[in-house]
Amino acid sequence: MTPWTPPPYADPATFTERDITLDADGHTVPGTLTLPTEPTGRGVVLLTGGGPYDRDETSGPNKPMKDLAWGLATQGVAVLRFDKVTANRPEAMAAPGYTMTSEYVPHGIAAVRLLAEHVDQVFLAGHSMGGKIAPQLAAEEPLVAGVVIMAGDTQPMQHAAVRVMRHLARANPEAVPPEAVALFERQAIAADTVTPDTPSSDLPFGMPASFWLDQRAYDPVATAAKLDVPILVLQGGRDYQVTVADDLPAWRAGLPNATITVLDADNHVFFAGTGPSTMADYQIPGNLDPAVVTAITGWLP
Give residue-wise pLDDT tens across range 231-250. 999 999 999 999 999 999 99
Average pLDDT over residues 31-38: 98
Q: What Cα–Cα distance (Å) separates residue 79 from each residue in 13, 32, 158, 178, 248?
A: 15, 8, 32, 43, 26
Q: Which residue has the higher pLDDT, 244 or 171?
A: 244
What's the rounded Cα separation, in Å, for the pair 48 and 44? 13
What's the rounded Cα separation, in Å, for the pair 17 and 24? 22
Kind of pairing between the strands at 27-36 and 15-24 = antiparallel
Q: What is the DSSP letter of 295?
A: H
- State which amino acid sits at residue 214: D
The pair phi, psi for residue 45, each rounded to 5°, is -95, 130
Q: What is the sign of the dihedral through the CA atoms of 191, 168, 51 and 227?
A: negative
Question: Under CATH, to which class is 12-155+217-299 assigned?
Answer: alpha beta
| Largest Cα–Cα separation, the chain | 55
If pLDDT is split at 50, 70 and 90, which confidence band does 89 have? Answer: confident
If pLDDT is split at 50, 70 and 90, which confidence band does 190 have? Answer: very high
Q: What Cα–Cα distance (Å) separates residue 9 from each residue in 68, 139, 271?
A: 10, 33, 14
The pLDDT of residue 117 is above 90: yes
What's the rounded Cα separation, in Å, for the pair 46 and 178? 37
* Distance from the first to the final alpha carbon of the chain: 40
pLDDT number for residue 174: 87
Average pLDDT over residues 276-288: 91
The pair phi, psi for residue 248, each rounded to 5°, is -65, -35
